[in-house]
Copies of this chain bind each other. A is one copy, B any other.
């Protein structure tokens, strides 16, 4: 190629964690990104090869501390930091730097929601990195700040968005989602040991207390044009990656199976990464392991008058790093699919 397109230079803060590692995996295949500084907290000074041995091309990179000097001089900075830390780092980055926050700090619009669920002052709201949400692409285009959605809200919003946009469902959703353990991060905790999670399913954060609940409510209410109540139960599944979200909503009176299918078909016909499966085929998380696709299927249960929707995503790809890169592409004016994995790694 005579005139290769300019590469953007990206730093990743929190490169030793699962979110940071996955951002790097994707950026390594992205034709327009050059990987710059990698930073860590307690891991600063370590070779990336010890911490992320699967990222072989970066094995000899050494983690630097997460400070302004290290992050300076990049076009893009990805933040994979514990919640509450992004605001301070972002403040020190210029307004011409694209800051992509994989944490929760800037996702919620309502300060009261933030304070209730996170117990700290609200840092603000950034353009929300779920391109499939109405208005999201316009807000992301050219933005210098992106709030990457939570993994559960991504799966659940993509499952229910067409139903609410088309006005087919009552404004109350019951959601039970199973997540792989990587969603809980890389910090060592007893209940996340392999011995504890293999062969076991368990719920947590039951009864409306999980922090992703207000984010789902925010997204679905936006789609519905009215407040949607969400009963959300997350469960931990014995697998590393993947979210399977099973969502149930009451169908509005008179809604037919044909209407439901048509709404979903129309909603996702042009979406590059939200995909309605052919009738009768249900999604499995294995089909999207490593891929940026969300697979969706829907059924109307005539007997109870409820619509059941199931979506599958890779929590670290479409649910985190892939959503981040997809939104970054939009912000930078690049093709939205650029550098994003189209196939799962199965079996």
Contact = CB atoms under 8 A, between A and B. Distances in A.
Interface string A302-342: 11111010101000000000000000000000000000001
A195 B248 CA distance: 29
Nearest to A193: B192
A57 B287 CA distance: 12
A174 interface: yes
Interface string A170-185: 0010101010111010
Interface stretch (A7-15, A83-91, A144-152, A231-239): A231-239
Contact of A172 (B57, B182, B304): B304
B53 A281 contact: yes
Nearest to A194: B197
Contacts of A310: 203, 206, 233
A166 interface: no
A64 interface: no
Given A238-B237, A343-B55, A347-B18, A181 B198 contact: yes
Most buried by B among A176, A181, A231, A297: A176
Contact of A235 (B49, B56, B178, B295): B178
Interface string A44-68: 0001011011111100000000000
Given A195-B180, A195-B181, A206-B282, A240 B299 contact: no
Given A176-B176, A290-B345, A239 B199 contact: yes
A318 to B, nearest CB: 12
A201 B240 contact: no
Nearest to A176: B176
Interface in A274-305: 275, 277-278, 281-291, 293, 295, 297, 299-305
Most buried by B among A208, A284, A290, A342: A284
Interface residues of A, number: 94
B54 A201 contact: no
Interface in A213-259: 213, 229-231, 233, 235, 237-242, 244, 246, 248
Contacts of A176: 176, 246, 248
Contacts of A290: 290, 345
A167 interface: no
A242 to B, nearest CB: 6
Nearest to A172: B304
A189 interface: yes
A344 interface: yes
A119 interface: no
